[in-house]
């Protein structure tokens, strides 16, 4: 595990010094024209195939959605997947503190999150209220030099305050370009973005600029009917990949996290409170899922005791097991 150096840089007073931009930085354009992309697994059950195999390695994915749409769940699940396979994780929070994140992650069934923090494979940075602009301009390049090539999974949750830190659109864009360019050297990032106002109107500069500069965009939405609310996910962009163009319903299931519902496959429809499905899955864990990482197995096992058939409504079990196996197939 590479040490973070002294991340007290967030606390110190920054020198107000204009960054010397090279011509390369001014004219920076996204690379990645090759037809074959190096993909990493997302950790979200059923998402890899919608992204033509997974998230592009060393890319920036923006997950946009309203409050409660599942952005933080998406981001933590992505980090967890890397940690389960021995990669490091960096969680930069501009919203919640470490304790809140740990509590919520445990609540969602990630019981051993503290082990990763203690072993420093997961670094949590509370950047709430800090001058992130100056950090990006003056400290980030040094930090990146130390961490470059480490294949870390990085989360910035949410990106929105970083954009709000500057009123001027040109400065917003310039800062984000620099941030994205630098963190790509460390690894693969998921940045969340708050959606305000009318759902689906993504034309404001605070959403448009990061969406434009990112490699992939995932939009999370609520679909409200008279009697219930369903969650939907749509891939708006995934560079150099033949991605899904459809809306996909998804559920959040404790211990599993975000699970994309299978299209056209019949799931459980009735109001059921029996525990048949958790029992079947328990048996599958010993049988078909025996090869997944032991920490993932334990997480699912512990959650199954608290779940019942209703939690798996619309989820086809064969599909669920197949998609979990697929996510751990590397």
Residue from the set 4, 148, 236, 252 that interacts with ligand ADP by CB under 6 A: 252
Answer whether 77's CB lies under 8 Å from 44's CB: yes
**Which of ligand ADP, Mg ion, none does residue 69 bind (CB under 5 to 8 Å by kind)?**
ligand ADP
Which residues fall within 8 angstroms of residue 3, CB to CB, at 6 or more apart? 120, 146
Query: 153: closest CA among 178, 124, 120, 188?
Result: 188
- For the CB of residue 157, give the shortest distance to ligand ADP in the complex, in Å: 7
Asked whether the CA dihedral 138, 141, 147, 150 is positive or negative, the reply is positive
Cis peptide preceding 158, ω within 30 of 0: yes
Interface mask (CB under 6 A) for ligand ADP, residues 144-163, using x and -? --------------------
Q: Which stretch binds ligand ADP (CB under 6 A): 61-69, 125-133, 159-167, 169-177?
A: 61-69
* In the complex, minimum distance from the CB of residue 134 to ligand ADP, in angstroms, rounded to a whole number: 26
CB of 40 to ligand ADP, least distance (A): 21
Minimum distance from residue 226 beta carbon to ligand ADP (Å): 19
Residue 56 or 160: the one with the smaller Cβ distance to Mg ion is 160
Query: Between 72 and 214, whose beta carbon lies closer to Mg ion?
Result: 72
Instruction: For 235-270, give one letter per residue: b (16+ CB within 10 A) or e.
Output: bebbbebebbeeebebbebbbbbbbbbbeeeeebee
Give whichever of 104 and 282 is closer to ligand ADP, judged by the CB atom.
Answer: 104
Residue 93's SS3 state is strand
User: How many chain residues interact with ligand ADP (CB under 6 A)?
Assistant: 12
Of the CA atoms within 13 Å of residue 14, those in its CB half-sphere come to 19
Place of tokens 């999370």: 220
CB of 70 to ligand ADP, least distance (A): 4
Residue list 84-123, contact with ligand ADP (CB under 6 A) = 107-108
254 touches ligand ADP by CB under 6 A: yes
Backbone angles phi, psi at 151, to 5 degrees: 60, 35
Question: Least distance (Å) from ligand ADP to the CB of residue 27?
Answer: 35
Give, in order, the Cα–Cα distances in Å from 40 to each of 52, 82, 91, 197. Answer: 11, 9, 18, 33
Q: Does 223 bind ligand ADP (CB under 6 A)?
A: no
How far is 90 from 34, CA to CA, in rounded Å? 28
Give the residue, chosen from 43, 53, 54, 70, that forms a contact with ligand ADP under the rule CB under 6 A.
Answer: 70
303 touches ligand ADP (CB under 6 A): no
Question: Which residues 6+ apart lie within 8 Å of 305 measured at CB?
Answer: 278
Residues in contact with Mg ion by CB under 5 A are 71-72
What are residue 238's DSSP bridge partners? Answer: 216
Question: Which stretches of the chain bind ligand ADP, using CB under 6 A?
Answer: 65, 67-73, 107-108, 252, 254
């Amino acid at each position: 595990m590479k040490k973070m150096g002294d991340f007290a840089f967030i606390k110190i007073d920054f020198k107000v010094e204009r960054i010397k931009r090279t011509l390369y930085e001014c004219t920076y354009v996204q690379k990645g024209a090759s037809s074959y992309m190096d993909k990493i697994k997302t950790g979200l059950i059923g998402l890899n195939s919608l992204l033509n195999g997974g998230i592009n390695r060393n890319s920036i994915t923006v997950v946009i959605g309203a409050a409660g749409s599942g952005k933080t769940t998406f981001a933590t699940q992505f980090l967890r997947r890397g940690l389960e396979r021995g990669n490091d994780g960096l969680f930069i929070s501009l919203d919640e503190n470490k304790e809140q994140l740990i509590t919520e992650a445990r609540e969602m069934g990630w019981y051993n999150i503290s082990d990763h923090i203690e072993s420093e494979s997961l670094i949590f940075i509370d950047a709430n209220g800090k001058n992130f602009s100056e950090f990006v301009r003056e400290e980030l390049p040094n930090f990146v030099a130390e961490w470059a090539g480490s294949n870390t999974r990085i989360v910035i949750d949410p990106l929105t305050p970083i954009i709000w830190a500057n009123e001027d659109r040109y400065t917003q864009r310039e800062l984000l370009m620099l941030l994205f360019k630098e963190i790509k050297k460390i690894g693969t990032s998921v940045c969340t973005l708050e959606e305000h106002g009318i759902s689906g109107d993504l034309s404001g500069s605070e959403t448009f600029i990061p969406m434009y500069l990112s490699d992939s965009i995932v939009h999370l939405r609520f679909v409200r009917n008279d009697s219930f609310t369903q969650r939907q996910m749509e891939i708006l962009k995934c560079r150099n990949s033949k991605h899904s163009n459809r809306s996909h319903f998804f559920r959040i299931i404790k211990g599993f996290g975000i699970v994309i519902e299978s299209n056209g496959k019949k799931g459980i429809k009735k109001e059921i409170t029996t525990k048949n499905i958790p029992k079947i899955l328990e048996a599958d864990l010993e049988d078909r899922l025996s090869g997944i990482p032991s920490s993932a197995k334990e997480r699912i096992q512990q959650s199954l005791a608290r779940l019942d058939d209703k939690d798996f409504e619309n989820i086809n079990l064969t599909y669920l097991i197949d998609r979990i196996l697929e996510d751990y197939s590397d």
